[in-house]
Structure 1
Amino acid sequence: NGFKLKEGRFKLDIRKKFFTLRVVRYWNRLPREVVAAPSLEAFKARLDEALGNLV
């Protein structure tokens, strides 16, 4: 997708458990059409569809 987030590297293990750091890997794997949704409703619908295709 065009909105990739950068994964940081930290010396302390406690930082690895932060929510913002845990979701980066999953966010970067989302398809472009999900991330580039024009509205929150469209994002939710497209996310449900993308996750449904994984199961």
Structure 2
Amino acid sequence: MFGSIMNTFNPGIKISKGQEMGYFAFGGSTIVMLVDKNLIKIDQDIIENTKKKDLRLM
């Protein structure tokens, strides 16, 4: 996984084939769990501690 995409080109400037336009900055991660809604219960402390990050419960 990667954390972000870094663009290194300036819009409006002509670039050549093969020239760098950007790169992936590593450092992010993604975890996806697909389970039945009533199958598991996530402890409240885990939910609270991950609100500072990017946790989505659907």
Please classify the TM superposition score into its range, dividing by the shorter chain length.
under 0.3
| Alignment TM-score, normalising by the size of structure 2 | 0.22
Quick check: which one's helix share is greater?
A: 1
Quick check: which one's strand share is greater?
A: 2
| Alignment TM-score, normalising by the size of structure 1 | 0.23
